A and B are shown apart, each in its own frame.
Chain A
Amino acid sequence: MAATETQLKDLGEKARRMRIDILKMLHGCGSGHTGGSLSSTDIVTALYFYKMKYDPKNPGWDGRDHFVLSKGHAAPMLYAALAHAGYFEQAELCTLRKLGSRLQGHPDSKNLPGVEISTGSLGQGLSVANGIALARRLDKGQNRVYALLGDGELQEGQIWEAAMTAAHYKLDNLCALVDNNGLQIDGPVAKVMNVEPITDKWRAFGWEVMDIDGHSIAALCDALDRAETVKGKPVCIVCRTVKGKGCSLFEGKVEFHGTTPSNEELETALKELAEGACI
């Protein structure tokens, strides 16, 4: 059941509009994580608008698939996806990080329906995803569980504890996606603390591994489809991405990990994204 041409075109358009929302949100609030939100936008677009089952009117729906944003600092990207998915009005996006907002600096599940688990402290999401997968399997549910990890985040030891657990318990209802943009805060991942060879590591831990272009929505949809057919072990999709993807000013720039666009930068970026419009 591969994605059709029309579907792919719509998904590309969705990702473009989400990037615009992300930039406006971050510009409006003046703080937050630009680079890692933009690098994972296509991944989450494929998840929320192609693959996952959910009901925004009933966030606790038993039949839903679960998404865990382990790299919680990419919250603006998740909020854009949730708004587009219909969990709340688009207008609420501009409350990001403001006092009283449900859109906390990092996702807060007790306040915002649609967020499965609060994250923000890196390294913890995969363990939670394992727990959800175990619970769903006990109930013989068909639900699938997805976790999005950063590549810098792989430096956390708990990720590898969880990698062992998922393989040990043969969690084939679980799929981890690594946003392999090659950068973290203090510089390139390879320089700060090398995590390569990433695919070999996951394979050695007993996972089925796919290595794809994380900005090709067709490749993402295809990988997510294939992941569902793997039996007896969890799947890790290593998504090769570019930090800051979609705006040439921010692409591959380590400085844009935690800085937000200025007025001029926003203008340039929006112009570029407008030129990328399908219509």
Chain B
Amino acid sequence: MTQKIATRDAYGDALVNLGKKRSDVVVLDADLSGSTKTSKFAKAFPDRFFNIGIAEQDMMGTAAGLAVGGKLPFASTFAVFATGRAWEQVRQSICYPNLNVKIVASHAGVTVGEDGGSHQSVEDIAVMRVIPNMTVIVPADGIETMQAIEAAAEMKGPCYVRVGRNKVPVIFGPDYRFAIGKAHVFHEGKDAAIIACGLMTAEALAARELLAAEGINAGVINMASIKPLDRDAVVAAARQCGAVVTAEEHSIIGGLGGAVAEALAEEAPVPMVRVGMKDVFGTSGTGEGLLKHYGLSAADIAAAVKEVIKKKKSA
């Protein structure tokens, strides 16, 4: 059986590791440290942890100031609040001055589940990606999350990392090395390429199996680095397969699907289908149930692959 780890748990562990290695790391939260798992850091390094209370805008500004003062701040809360409530603080006080602040937001996407649509961030990738100077990373599993946090700490400048609430399958081996701007090709395909991020990469791998049983060869690419996007990998996949499906736990507008569509339209136009939230808000339910409800399961990705192959043939 595959091991399952929530990416937020991996984040909490990564922070503690980082805190041991670097005395300049400080962590901020807005009354959700138990959920975002920054509580692990708070316990290990109480002097370097600042709970700002339910005040996300102030938290982002404070993080900016800590960066001005020479610290390496990580600011965390739910994705909806980090990127929505505090968007303009992220823009003005962090990205415009190009400060070394890392925003790691948890409970992204519909798999937040029972809390419902108010808490399910389906826009965060889009609204972070559009800000100049911002780097956006959506890790697929616990291993990649640990790596992404390391990479975010190494790079200079603002960075947004999106993590999730629920346990997701570990799909990378211990030797995997994540790099900003680089995709990971799990499988090269022939008929279509699936480009996915976050927990949807595991779904894409499952979709590939479903399709293989029907004689369809779908490639699977994990695109954790949404910005900068690995354009070379997108173009190579498009040239090789002639058709692309994107899959993300986010709106089909402005996220991974948007970024890939932009790259393809400019560099290698091929038929494309986007799997994601179809311009709708989420609702209460179990995480798993919601993935099915909104057409985000392996079976839905497989159906999208067949659809894109049809488009390719009629093109």
Apart from A118-B92, A118-B97, A161-B55, what 17 extra A-B contacts exist at CB < 8 Å? A118-B96, A124-B61, A124-B89, A127-B58, A127-B60, A127-B62, A127-B89, A130-B62, A130-B65, A131-B67, A131-B68, A135-B26, A135-B69, A158-B58, A162-B61, A165-B53, A165-B55
Q: Are B50 and A117 in contact (CB under 8 A)?
A: no
**Which are the 3 A-B pairs with shortest beta-carbon distances?**
A131-B65, A135-B69, A127-B61
Cross-chain pairs A/B with CB under 8 angstroms, 20 sampled: A66-B68, A66-B69, A117-B65, A118-B96, A124-B92, A124-B93, A125-B61, A127-B61, A127-B93, A131-B66, A131-B67, A134-B26, A135-B71, A136-B69, A158-B89, A161-B55, A164-B58, A165-B53, A165-B55, A165-B62
What's the least CB distance linking A112 to chain B, in Å? Answer: 11
What's the least CB distance linking A62 to chain B, in Å? Answer: 8
Instruction: Give the complex CA separation of A121 and B90 in angstroms.
Output: 11
B264 within 8 Å of A by Cβ? no
In the complex, which residues of chain B have a beta carbon less than 8 angstroms from the beta carbon of A158? 55, 57-58, 61, 89
Q: Are B70 and A135 in contact (CB under 8 A)?
A: yes
Q: Which residues between 230 and 255 of chain A lie within 8 Å of chain B, taking CB atoms?
A: none
Instruction: Give the complex CA separation of A109 and B65 in angstroms.
Output: 12
B48 within 8 Å of A by Cβ? yes
> Which label, helix, strand, loop or mixed, suits the secondary structure of the A interface?
helix
In the complex, which residues of chain B have a beta carbon less than 8 angstroms from the beta carbon of A165? 52-53, 55, 58, 62
Q: Are A118 and B61 in contact (CB under 8 A)?
A: no
Q: Tell me which of A120, A130, A133, A169 contacts B92 (CB under 8 A).
A: A120
The count of residues in chain A whose C-beta lies closer than 8 Å to any C-beta of chain B is: 34
Instruction: Give the complex CA separation of A158 and B47 in angstroms.
Output: 24
Q: Are B97 and A134 in contact (CB under 8 A)?
A: no
Q: Name the residue of chain A whose CB is nearest to the CB of B55.
A: A161
Q: Which residues between 69 and 94 of chain B lie within 8 Å of chain A, taking CB atoms?
A: 69-71, 73, 88-89, 91-93
What's the least CB distance linking B90 to chain A, in Å? Answer: 11
Q: Are B55 and A138 in contact (CB under 8 A)?
A: no
In the complex, which residues of chain B have a beta carbon less than 8 angstroms from the beta carbon of A110? 96-98
- The answer to whether A127 and B64 touch (CB under 8 A), given A119-B92, A138-B71, A161-B58, is yes
Instruction: Give the complex CA separation of A116 and B70 in angstroms.
Output: 12
Q: Are B65 and A139 in contact (CB under 8 A)?
A: no
In the complex, which residues of chain A have a beta carbon less than 8 angstroms from the beta carbon of B73? 131
In the complex, which residues of chain B have a beta carbon less than 8 angstroms from the beta carbon of A130? 58, 61-62, 65
Q: Name the residue of chain A whose CB is nearest to the CB of B47.
A: A138
> Which label, helix, strand, loop or mixed, suits the secondary structure of the B interface?
helix
| Interface residues on chain B, size class | 20 to 34
A172 within 8 Å of B by Cβ? no
Q: Tell me which of B50, B59, B68 contacts A169 (CB under 8 A).
A: B50
A128 within 8 Å of B by Cβ? yes
Bitwise, A92-120 to B at CB < 8 A (1) or not (0) is 00000000000000001110000011111
B63 within 8 Å of A by Cβ? yes
Instruction: Give the complex CA separation of A132 and B60 in angstroms.
Output: 12
A129 within 8 Å of B by Cβ? yes
Q: Are A127 and B92 in contact (CB under 8 A)?
A: no
What's the least CB distance linking B33 to chain A, in Å? Answer: 16
In the complex, which residues of chain B have a beta carbon less than 8 angstroms from the beta carbon of A133? 65, 69
In the complex, which residues of chain B have a beta carbon less than 8 angstroms from the beta carbon of A120? 92
Q: Tell me which of A66, A118, A127, A168 contacts B57 (CB under 8 A).
A: A127
In the complex, which residues of chain B have a beta carbon less than 8 angstroms from the beta carbon of A128? 61-62, 64-65, 68, 93
In the complex, which residues of chain A have a beta carbon less than 8 angstroms from the beta carbon of B69? 66, 131-136, 138-139
Q: Are B62 and A118 in contact (CB under 8 A)?
A: no
Q: Are A131 and B96 in contact (CB under 8 A)?
A: no
Instruction: Give the complex CA separation of A269 and B73 in angstroms.
Output: 47
In the complex, which residues of chain A have a beta carbon less than 8 angstroms from the beta carbon of B50? 134, 169
Instruction: Give the complex CA separation of A162 and B71 in angstroms.
Output: 19
Instruction: Give the complex CA separation of A128 and B71 in angstroms.
Output: 13
Q: Are A131 and B63 in contact (CB under 8 A)?
A: yes
Q: Are B65 and A135 in contact (CB under 8 A)?
A: yes
Determine which residue in A109, A136, A138, A164 has the highest number of CB atoms from chain B within 10 A of its CB, and name it: A138
What's the least CB distance linking A266 to chain B, in Å? Answer: 32
What's the least CB distance linking A9 to chain B, in Å? Answer: 35
In the complex, which residues of chain A have a beta carbon less than 8 angstroms from the beta carbon of B93? 117-118, 124, 127-128
Q: Tell me which of B53, B65, B67, B88 contacts A127 (CB under 8 A).
A: B65
- The answer to whether A117 and B64 touch (CB under 8 A), given A108-B97, A109-B97, is yes
Q: Are B68 and A116 in contact (CB under 8 A)?
A: yes
In the complex, which residues of chain B have a beta carbon less than 8 angstroms from the beta carbon of A116? 68
Bitwise, A184-207 to B at CB < 8 A (1) or not (0) is 000000000000000000000000
Q: Are B66 and A135 in contact (CB under 8 A)?
A: yes
Instruction: Give the complex CA separation of A135 and B47 in angstroms.
Output: 11
- The answer to whether A134 and B55 touch (CB under 8 A), given A108-B96, A121-B88, A124-B93, is no
Instruction: Give the complex CA separation of A119 and B61 in angstroms.
Output: 11
In the complex, which residues of chain B have a beta carbon less than 8 angstroms from the beta carbon of A68? 65
